[in-house]
Amino acid sequence: MRFVDYIALAFRNLGRQKLRSFLTVLAIIIGATSVTIMLALVTSIKSFFLQEFNATGQIRQIAVTQATDLTYGQARYGGGGSRSGVKLTDEMLGGIKKLPHVANASPQVGLYMFDSVNYKDKKLSVSNFQAYEPNDVLSYDVIAGRNLTEQDQAGSVTLTAEYADKLGFKGQYQQLVGKQITLQTVPGYTGAGANLPPSPLAARVAEPPPLATNLSATVVGVVGSQTGQAAMYFPLAWARGLLQTQDWKVTNGKAALVATDNLAKTGYQTITVAADAAENANGVAQRIRDQFGVGASTAQDFIKKQLAIFNIIGYVLGGIGGISLAVAAVGVVNTMVMATMERTREIGVMRAVGAKRATISRLFTLEASLLGLLGGVLGIAIGYAMVTVANPLVNKQLAANGISAKDIVILPPWLVVGVIIVTTLIGMLAGLYPARRAAKLNPVEALRHE
């Protein structure tokens, strides 16, 4: 029998019991759709996660900390941990930048001198102020305006969408760009721009209360957050001034202000180092650990761990979908066994006029495979439709959370091909037993079958 004839005959036979074939295919469609959707979701989350790591350059970054026992996540997002180890100095920063495979590095430090952020009548308490050296190492997703640059000095900040929302700019972040906000310091602040207490030698009526200072800053950009945490970002150049303390010192009867560079004293909280390529990140981290005795961790382990978690989720979800496919396979077996029973006489006639056992077997296997193929193709089609519908909804949700990524739900080609192959194979396997049954029928008895 020629291949095209097999296909045509198989289709004709399936068409003879339209309702039954449809119901059998429907079960496969349900299984294929659920597998498709679940795996598409996991794949999308995975690729979105990797994309974000790539886009922000984190995939090739090393977080350098004083503490030597931190994971990447703790080092990068946990504020750098204790400051009991080797200080992260400018000298070290220079040394790191000179290491082979290091593209650049950006030191960071947290700022704790602010009490609140005010804009017009809005006053919000902000707990996460981060300063970094704006270069190509750290670049946040820009939602409106721009990232900080090396030209930015005192008075420029960026903030994440969450803070922008609280300042009353939800959904109109562009409006916030260029606006002046007021940063109110804690009382007793004596850094750059502070309202300093009067000289101790000046005539005074009573002990002056500790003074708070209002500093003004221009919002140059609204950016995405890498951790989902709200944050306000400062250029490092400004942070040095903000972190300094000024004290009156009286020598020889004269009072003078003495400034202390606290940043130099404590060192940086973390230094984020960018390797020239992702595959060199681990090597560079090792080098930094060996050479400077500091903690250095890469995103790679973190990514690996995250991906492993996603994979497990994928297996579980895929398994749930797989169960429905298994149920569908039982449906195929049932349908095909029924078909062999109903068509016993027909099989007898086919054998009498020259069909081989192998021909009958192939025909039934093919019919079952076709059920699987149809279910797979239609399941993918429905999955595709669902993805198409889901993306605009997800985009809305992402935008509302200040994430600039779009159309993240994807149906990768391997999944499309994979699902179709798997359902076809399932159909084929489910057809093997009925096909064997049909082929093994004794033609003489089959012809006598009522």
Partner 1 sequence: MIQLDHITRTYRLGDEVIHALNDVSFSVRPGEFVAIIGPSGSGKSTLANIIGGLDRPTSGTVIVDGNNLSKDRDTKLSEYRNHHVGFIFQSFNLQNDISALDNVMMPLLFSKIRRAERRKRAQECLRAVGLADRMKHKATELSGGQRQRVAIARALAVRPSIIIADEPTGNLDTARGQEIMTLLKNLNKKGMTLLVITHDLTVAKQASRVVQILDGRLQERKV
Q: Shortest gap between Cβ of 440 and partner 1 (angstroms)?
A: 10
Asked if residue 359 binds partner 1 (CB under 8 A), the reply is: yes
Window 289-318: contact mask with partner 1 (x via CB under 8 A): ------------------------------
Asked if residue 5 binds partner 1 (CB under 8 A), the reply is: yes
Residue from 356, 393, 417, 421 binding partner 1 (CB under 8 A): 356
Q: Shortest gap between Cβ of 442 and partner 1 (angstroms)?
A: 8
Q: Shortest gap between Cβ of 16 and partner 1 (angstroms)?
A: 6
Asked if residue 366 binds partner 1 (CB under 8 A), the reply is: no
**Nearest residue (CB) to partner 1, 155 versus 443:** 443
Asked if residue 338 binds partner 1 (CB under 8 A), the reply is: no
Give me the residue label for tokens 């033609």.
443
Nearest to 332 by CA among 358, 366, 355: 366
Q: Which stretch binds partner 1 (CB under 8 A): 65-73, 216-224, 344-352, 378-386?
A: 344-352
Strands (DSSP E) contained in 279-338 are 295-298
Q: Which two structure tokens, joined as six digits, stand for 407?
A: 């159309």
| 3-state helix, strand and coil shares in percent for the chain, rounded to the nearest 5 | 55, 20, 30
Between residue 242 and residue 271, which ones bind partner 1 under the rule CB under 8 A?
Answer: none
What gap in Å lies between CA 346 and CA 273, rounded to an integer?
A: 75
Asked if residue 406 binds partner 1 (CB under 8 A), the reply is: no
What gap in Å lies between CA 281 and CA 300, rounded to an integer?
A: 8
Q: Which stretch binds partner 1 (CB under 8 A): 103-111, 143-151, 316-324, 351-359?
A: 351-359
**Nearest residue (CB) to partner 1, 289 versus 357:** 357
Phi, then psi, of 123 in degrees rounded to 5:
-135, 115
Q: Shortest gap between Cβ of 8 and partner 1 (angstroms)?
A: 8
Phi, then psi, of 216 in degrees rounded to 5:
-110, 150
Q: What is the DSSP letter of 309?
A: H
Number of other CB atoms surrounding residue 57 within 10 Å:
19
* CB-facing half-sphere around the CA of 423: CA atoms within 13 A: 34
Between residue 6 and residue 35, which ones bind partner 1 under the rule CB under 8 A?
Answer: 9, 12, 16
Asked if residue 2 binds partner 1 (CB under 8 A), the reply is: yes
Largest CA distance in the chain: 127
Residue from 70, 271, 275, 355 binding partner 1 (CB under 8 A): 355
What gap in Å lies between CA 38 and CA 64, rounded to an integer?
A: 38
Nearest to 131 by CA among 153, 104, 101: 153
The residue count for binding partner 1 (CB under 8 A) is 24
What gap in Å lies between CA 334 and CA 226, rounded to an integer?
A: 52
Asked if residue 345 binds partner 1 (CB under 8 A), the reply is: yes
**Nearest residue (CB) to partner 1, 323 versus 352:** 352
Asked if residue 358 binds partner 1 (CB under 8 A), the reply is: yes
What gap in Å lies between CA 332 and CA 347, rounded to an integer?
A: 19
Which residues make up the interface to partner 1 (CB under 8 A)?
A: 1-2, 4-5, 9, 12, 16, 345-346, 348-359, 443-444, 447
